[in-house]
Amino acid sequence: MRVLLIEDDESIAEPLAEGLSRYGLAVDRVATGGAALAGPFGDIVLLDLGLPDMDGIDVCRRIRQVSHVPIIMLTARGEEADRVVGLEMGADDYLAKPFSMRELIARIRAVTRRTHVGAPHATLPVPAAPQGGHLYVPGTGVAGPAPRRPEALVVDRRTRQAWVGDDLVALTPKEFDLLALLAEDPGAVYSRQQILDQVWDPHFHGPTKTLDVHVAALRRKLGDPAWIHTVRGVGFRLFVPASRG
């Protein structure tokens, strides 16, 4: 596995690169956002947010525009706002400095396990979906004087793609996992902890705001917030239009 390490602080980058290579990872080191964007991104990106030439958040956003490579942000403490924005911009996870090599390796494994296309999802049972791997959720067809053309939500686990109607929805790996989980049993309520355990890590103890950020991004990308219902004090569920009637 190839890691692109974007870190300008030599005293951090040096031991980090050394540690990663001890775990058998090939490390490409760059010290600026410009160099990072020139690519290649490898199999995973470790991104320091405080870079000399540009904001790490912008680097994250621009990588995400052209690649689905998993991104883990490396942040200083007290940068919570940055982390939230970073997750909104498509980063998959973050680690607050200082962190241990073991912690970093565990996050890298978790993120790449979740995002690797075609990898077996040991913890996520594949739903008995119709249409060969496509989960089909019938459209919202909101009732009114001029009913909207019904649109369907299709989640294809095999290719890790989702469509609303004819539009392919560009999702980050985490957003897809979140949607795929909710789509396993449309209408069923998934508790916040269930979602964090399955889409993030078992025993996830990070800020639960992370989940809200991803739900917000997912709603925005699906083009209609009604797709995902908040069940106050419990969790979330995928809207099932048929259950409305």
Among 28, 29, 43, 50, interactor with Ca ion by CB under 5 A: 50
Min separation Cβ 7 and Ca ion, Å: 6
Closest approach of Cβ 233 to Ca ion, in Å? Answer: 40
Distance CA(165)–CA(131), nearest Å, equals 15
- 79 interacts with Ca ion by CB under 5 A: no
Q: With CB under 5 A as the contact rule, which of the stretches 42-50, 182-190, 193-201, 209-217 interacts with Ca ion?
A: 42-50
Interface stretch with Ca ion, choices 5-13, 168-176, 183-191, 221-229 (CB under 5 A): 5-13
**Whole-number minimum distance, CB 5 to Ca ion, in Å?**
12
Tell me how far, at minimum, the Cβ of 48 lies from Ca ion, in Å: 5
Closest CB to Ca ion among residues 50, 223: 50
48 near Ca ion, rule: CB under 5 A: yes
Q: Which is nearer to Ca ion, 50 or 225 (CB)?
A: 50
d(CA 220, CA 121): 26
In the complex, what is the shortest distance from the CB of residue 215 to Ca ion, in angstroms, rounded to a whole number? 30
CA 60 vs. chain centroid, Å, equals 13
Report if residue 8 touches Ca ion, rule: CB under 5 A.
Answer: yes
Any contact of residue 82 with Ca ion (CB under 5 A)?
Answer: no
Q: Is residue 58 within the footprint of Ca ion (CB under 5 A)?
A: no
Number of shown-chain residues binding Ca ion (CB under 5 A): 4
Contacts with Ca ion, residue ranges (CB under 5 A)? 8-9, 48, 50
